[in-house]
């Protein structure tokens, strides 16, 4: 298994094909019960600081939930995740006509200009997980996305901007160089 820095690379992502088909899946990744989207600590801090600005745009259910619960959780391994409502969806999900829409999809931090949508959401279906003293970048396969595995777009091309945001250009260039070998 190749490694770049402290990140092992699952070989299957080098050849995998994928692109999101929102019309088909309807944003199902935004409404999974259980733990919410993984967050980097700095993303959690940024979202938490901007919560007063974001509260007016969330659903009444999310607003009520966020007035009583934290925006994110931290597990025993010190992994952060975005809060989800008890019935499953992310607190920033806005379901209209059966379609899930991320309310912070295009919002940017007013100071840093970074996108507010967590990089883990933008990387999906790639996931960065702890792997002993390292991390691993792997493909998380979902039944709802199976029909997109035959598309002509390479998974890594689909996720390139998010990879750049998460790991930087030198790391991302090294990852794409693995495809060429």
38-39, strands of its sheet edge to edge: 38-39, 80-82, 72-74
Evaluated on CA atoms 22, 23, 24, 25, the torsion sign reads positive
Q: What is the pLDDT of residues 41-100, one digit of tens each?
A: 998 998 898 889 888 888 899 999 999 999 999 988 888 999 888 877 888 888 778 777
Least confident of 40-44, 142-146, 152-156, 177-181: 142-146
Phi/psi of residue 135, each to 5°? -130, 165
Q: Where are the alpha helices (DSSP H) in 70-143?
A: 119-123
Has residue 145 got a pLDDT over 70? no
Q: In the beta sheet, which residues pair with residue 20?
A: none
- What's residue 181's pLDDT? 56
| Pairing mode of beta strands 134-139, 7-9 | parallel
Strand order from edge to edge, sheet including 126-131: 3-4, 7-9, 134-139, 126-131
Which token pair is 126? 């790639």
Token pair 């659903």 in the structure block, residue: 59
So where are the chain's domains?
1-20+124-181, 26-120
Tell me the pTM: 0.82
Half-sphere exposure of 119 (CA within 13 A, CB side): 20
Q: Is the pLDDT of residue 111 over 80?
A: no
């Amino acid at each position: 298994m190749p490694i770049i820095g402290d990140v092992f690379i699952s070989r299957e992502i080098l050849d995998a094909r994928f692109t999101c088909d929102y019309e088909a899946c309807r944003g199902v990744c935004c409404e999974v019960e259980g733990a919410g989207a993984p967050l980097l600590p700095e993303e959690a801090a940024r979202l938490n600081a901007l919560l007063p600005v974001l509260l007016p745009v969330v659903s009444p259910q999310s607003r009520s939930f966020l007035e009583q619960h934290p925006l994110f959780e931290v597990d025993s391994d010190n992994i952060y995740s975005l809060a989800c409502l008890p019935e499953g969806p992310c607190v920033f999900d806005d379901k209209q006509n059966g379609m899930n829409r991320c309310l912070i999809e295009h919002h940017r931090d007013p100071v840093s200009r970074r996108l507010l949508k967590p990089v883990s959401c933008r990387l999906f279906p790639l996931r960065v997980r702890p792997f002993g003293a390292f991390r691993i970048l792997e493909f998380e396969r979902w039944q709802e996305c199976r029909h997109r595995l035959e598309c002509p777009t390479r998974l890594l091309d689909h996720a390139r901007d998010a990879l750049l945001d998460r790991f930087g250009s030198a790391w991302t260039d090294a990852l794409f160089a693995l495809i060429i070998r």
